[in-house]
Structure 1
Amino acid sequence: MEFLLSLAEEEQVILVGHSFGGLCISVAMELFPTKIAAAVFVSAWLPSPDLNYLDLLQEDLTLALSLLRPFPIFGDEDLQENTQLTRDNYGIVAKVYIVCEQDKLFKHDFQLFMIERNPPNDVKVIAGADHMSMFSKPQELFSYLQEITDTYY
């Protein structure tokens, strides 16, 4: 967050979040929407300002709560408790999701579920990539990141 604070008003960056890093870049999008040209979610958590626990069926909620484990997402309690994603900030930043088809942590169906609930501006697919696409398909990931930079920066 300090880096984004240090940017001049007219400067922008492209953020890339992998796995649970999607939550981290989402907080940055909420706090600094004008400093982010685009956010890239690589087989990452893609939260939505519209998805609420109250929207879940009661039985789904009961199951979800039984599976939860305490996990400090942001590493900063104040940030974690006081940041809510909004359409006015988080919602205005361009989002690109890179699906890794062979991911066994964020399964393909789960990635599609998040994309459906919070449609990004663009979706890319890396066929044969596992959760660590930077190791399993580095050339493909690099090509997409370069393409995204050319499009949004």
Structure 2
Amino acid sequence: MEKREEKEEERHFVLVHGAMHGGWCWYKVATLLRSVGHKVTALDMAASGINPKQASEVCSYGEYVEPLIEFMKALPWNERVILVAHSAGGGCISVAMEQFPQKISVAVFAVALMPGPKLSFAALVEEFTQALSKVPNGEGLEKKTATVAAVAWHDRLGSYYKQLSSPEDIALSNSLMRASPIFNHDEVFEKQTTFTEEKFGKVARVFIMSDQDRVMNEDFQKWMVDLHPPNEVNKIDGSDHSLMFSTPIKLFSCLQNISNKYY
């Protein structure tokens, strides 16, 4: 008698992009996840992807993250999702973790900023911005704000952090990237990005490292992990900062393994 192949249990992955990108950047990984039966939602934050707002119209971090927060609010009370963030998107899913811990089975930080109760998002962004000034062509980026900084990043570092990605993906990114709002580290910003052990701390966290990230280098990644260790750390060899472009199959496999363990 032939053994019947078991169907993959459907899980819901919610993918959150980094600065200047949109839900479009996940097209390879989303296709792979859907091909094995999973549900995938790739969101656009405010002024990103096809979201109609412009960067100059987004006045607060809360407004920037609003598409994710509204999505989480609309989820049925008994549905849990797997949040996956890339780069600056780590701040977005951290806000969702603080507000909706009961709706998240695991939060995955794919070379993403990972704030927490012991590391404020403002301090993390400041440290990261300082690190950017030390990469080739990055001088002075830490002194720019708002749209100007995003445009400067795109013009000067765009190909640098996609050095292992295909020419086609680099061309796609160059045609679809948009200026992102960058927020001052004032009292309102801090209030909108406060994380506690009672809420944020209840959600399982997994950090995915990239071994050839030229922007968020291994030392910076290890620094975040050491400050407040996640439940698990994985590493994808042969990946640049944009690992959804450079190593989509490895990232897909890693997400599959994480979902099997934590869902």
> 1:73 Cα shift?
5.2
Q: Could you tell me which residue of structure 1 aligns to residue 109 of structure 2?
A: 41
> 1:52 Cα shift?
5.6
Residues 82-127 of structure 1: CA distance to partner in whole angstroms, max 9, x if unpaired?
3311111111100000000100111111000000001000110001
Q: Distance in 1 between matches of 2:94 and 2:228?
A: 12
Number of matched residues?
143
* Largest Rg, 1 or 2: 2
Q: Greater strand percent: which structure?
A: 1
* Secondary structure, counterpart of 1:38 in structure 2: strand
* Secondary structure, counterpart of 2:253 in structure 1: helix
Q: Could you tell me which residue of structure 2 aligns to residue 142 of structure 1?
A: 252
Pick from 208, 213, 217: which aligns with 1:103? 213
Q: Could you tell me which residue of structure 1 aligns to residue 26 of structure 2?
A: none
TM-score by length of 2: 0.50
* Secondary structure, counterpart of 1:102 in structure 2: coil
Pick from 217, 233, 241: which aligns with 1:123? 233
Letter in 1 for 2:226: E
**Percent of aligned positions with the same letter in both sequences?**
47
User: 1 or 2 for the larger relative contact order (CA 8 Å, sep ≥6)?
Assistant: 1
- Unpaired stretches in structure 1, ≥5 consecutive residues: none
Q: Could you tell me which residue of structure 2 aligns to residue 88 of structure 1?
A: 198
Q: Does the CA-based 8 Å contact 1:48-1:117 persist in structure 2?
A: no
TM-score by length of 1: 0.83
Q: Does the CA-based 8 Å contact 1:23-1:73 persist in structure 2?
A: no
Shift >2 Å, 4+ stretches: 66-74, 77-83
> 1:70 Cα shift?
3.7
- Unpaired stretches in structure 2, ≥5 consecutive residues: 1-68, 132-139, 147-180
